[in-house]
Amino acid sequence: MRLRDGKISGPHWRHAGIHIVHLLKQGVTRRSRWDLSLPDQIWRDFRCNPHHLQRKWHVSALCAYGLFSAMSPFSEADEADEETVLWPCLMRTAVVNLVKSTGGDTIANANLAKLASADWPAVRRQLRQLKPHVVICGGAATYQIAAVRLLREGVKVSDAERRGWFCWGARCVFVKVVHPQRSDYEASYQAVCGAVGKAMAEKRLTRWWHRLERRAAKDISLPAQHPREHKRG
């Protein structure tokens, strides 16, 4: 079965200020949970229990909160309410998977590059359409594939591996973190905020980034509401 991924919520994405994409390996399950698109599945999880985020989405939401809140201390993010703060932060992001098929076993990193090559044109189109400011790569293998495909030059790829982040185009930063299903909350939070801060300073984009932060902070508690529940007009 093919996985439909992308923006979790169009209205939240438009209000985000900072556009964040979570780049993951694959949506995998042996059960038929993926009869809906990934965004719809996340919404269904929210309706079932708005007070509890699954581990991988909790990490993703924390990292998003850090960028939306001008990289506030982790202690502040760790105390944020899930229903009124973290869920809305997650809803303002997008999720893109390297492999679009579902229904099998978890992909071993050794096989990921081969399997992801078939879907890479679709992934690249998604990234170009979404125009993210930050892409958080869940796992070293996912990050390496993105670096090899987008940077191409061996020296640049090696440099990206060493630093744990690289820039794609003028204003998009890719960051490497441990896969959110296995990561330490604080380590991932610090890795994302630290890498983005270093990238903005190195590329002399700090003033531009601060403008984005001010826009993002205005709507940080936008209610979690399904797009179909927004009133028209």
What does DSSP say about strands 173-177 and 6-7: parallel, antiparallel, or unpaired? unpaired
pLDDT the model gives residue 36: 59
Among candidate residues 159, 158, 164, the one with its CA nearest the CA of residue 178 = 164
Q: What number is the average pLDDT over the span 153-173?
A: 90
Q: Is 124 left (phi over 0), alpha (psi -120 to 50) or beta?
A: alpha
- 9-64 pLDDT, tens digit each: 888 898 899 999 999 987 555 444 545 577 888 888 887 887 788 888 999 999 99
How is the chain split into domains, by residue range? 6-30+40-222
Contact 65, 219 (CB under 8 A): no
Distance CA 90, CA 61 (A): 5
- For the ranges 10-14, 17-21, 176-180, 224-228, the lowest mean pLDDT is seen at 224-228
Q: Between 131 and 181, where is the model more confident?
A: 131
pLDDT the model gives residue 121: 92
Find all residues with CB under 8 Å of 104, minimum gap 6, and list them. Answer: 28, 30
pLDDT the model gives residue 26: 72
- 87-141 pLDDT, tens digit each: 999 999 999 999 877 655 566 666 777 777 888 999 999 999 999 999 999 999 9
pLDDT the model gives residue 230: 40
Give the pLDDT band of residue 232 (cuts 50, 70, 90). very low
pLDDT the model gives residue 228: 46
CB 54: neighbour CB atoms within 10 A? 13
- Give domain 6-30+40-222's CATH number out of 3.40.470.10, 1.10.287.70, 3.20.20.140, 3.90.1150.10: 3.40.470.10
pLDDT the model gives residue 90: 93
pLDDT the model gives residue 3: 65
Q: What is the pTM of this model?
A: 0.88
